[in-house]
Structure 1
Amino acid sequence: MSKLDEMDFSILGFLQENGKRSYTEIAKLLNVSEGTVRTRINRMLKDGVFEFIIHMDPNKIGLNVQVIIGIVTKLGHQEQIATTLNRYQEVRFVGAFSGRHDLILQAYFKNNDDLVHFVNKELANMDGVISVDVSIELKQYKDSFSYIEK
């Protein structure tokens, strides 16, 4: 993977601002050729610097319950449990953390009944799960995937 330069960060900034912005428009804004922008974007995509995704509002598509769940695992089971959690459509994020919980996940559910089922049937039956700590989002103040200043 090659190192990102100032132009790469500028391109990322323009895409972050408006992911539908054309390569031609970005090229004009940076005073370079469209081919330069296309080549750099393709390289960054290939290198895994970013990916094009659609970021939906969960509430507007019927996912009204957002939770953060901390999981304490039995020693030696963390990786296997994380792999299993990855298979659930409801789970958006799984990460290993230091501190009180071995794994922390973010998940979205249609309603509280689906959440209760997930905790009491799915998590409770996973070998190596010692305990779970469920926090339901009451109000959201920020939800961003923007990491660079524009």
Structure 2
Amino acid sequence: MGKLDHIDFAILGYLQENGKRSYTEIARLLDVSEGTIRTRINRMLKEDVFEFVIHTNPNKIGLHVQAIIGISTKLGMQEEIAIQLNRYSEVRFVGAFSGRHDIIIQAYFKNNEDLVFFVNKKLAKIDGIVSADVNIELKQFKDSFSYVP
């Protein structure tokens, strides 16, 4: 992949502020042609620099319980378990970590009963999980996918 320059970073910044911003508006803000913006966005999309994603507010769609679950696995089973966790619609994020937990997941539920069911019925069925440390979000202070200054 080619190096990103200041125009690429500016484009990313404008899109992070408002993903519906038009190529024409970004071109005007950067004093370049719309074709330049279109070409650079298409290149960055092709090179997986970013992707367009709809970020849904979980509370607005009835998912009122967010849990971060740290999972300890049997040695050698981390990847196999992660693959199984990917299949659950409740799970938004699965990552391998160093430290206390082998895998950490982020999952959303309608209510606490659904979370308890997930832990006791779904996670309990997965061979190789030694323990699950369930943490419920009490208050959110920041939720951002913005990495470009």
Q: Distance in 2 between matches of 1:103 and 1:12?
A: 30
Please show how residues 1-150 of structure 1 align to structure 2 within 5 Å. 1-149=1-149
- Give the partner amino acid of 2:49: V
Q: Distance in 1 between matches of 2:47 and 2:89?
A: 26
Write out per-residue CA displacement over residues 79-125 of structure 1, whole angstroms, 9 at most, x where no aligned residue.
Answer: 01101111111100000000000000000001111111110011111
Identity %: 77
- Give the partner amino acid of 1:134: V
Displacement over 6 Å in runs of 4+? none
- Give the partner amino acid of 1:51: E
Provide structure 1 residue ranges, at least 5 long, that are not aligned to the other structure. none
Q: Secondary structure at the match of 1:148?
A: coil
Write out per-residue CA displacement over residues 48-96 of structure 1, whole angstroms, 9 at most, x where no aligned residue.
Answer: 1111111111011000000000000001110011011111111000000
Provide structure 2 residue ranges, at least 5 long, that are not aligned to the other structure. none
- Give the partner amino acid of 2:60: K
Q: Secondary structure at the match of 1:124?
A: helix
Write out per-residue CA displacement over residues 16-54 of structure 1, whole angstroms, 9 at most, x where no aligned residue.
Answer: 111110001101111111011001001111111111111
Q: CA RMSD in A?
A: 0.6
Q: Distance in 1 between matches of 2:130 and 2:47?
A: 38
Q: Secondary structure at the match of 2:125?
A: coil
Q: Distance in 2 between matches of 1:23 and 1:125?
A: 49
Q: TM-score, normalised by structure 1?
A: 0.97
Query: 1:2: Cα distance to partner?
Result: 1.3
Q: Secondary structure at the match of 2:39?
A: helix
Q: Distance in 2 between matches of 1:44 and 1:72?
A: 37
- Give the partner amino acid of 1:86: N
Q: Secondary structure at the match of 2:8?
A: helix
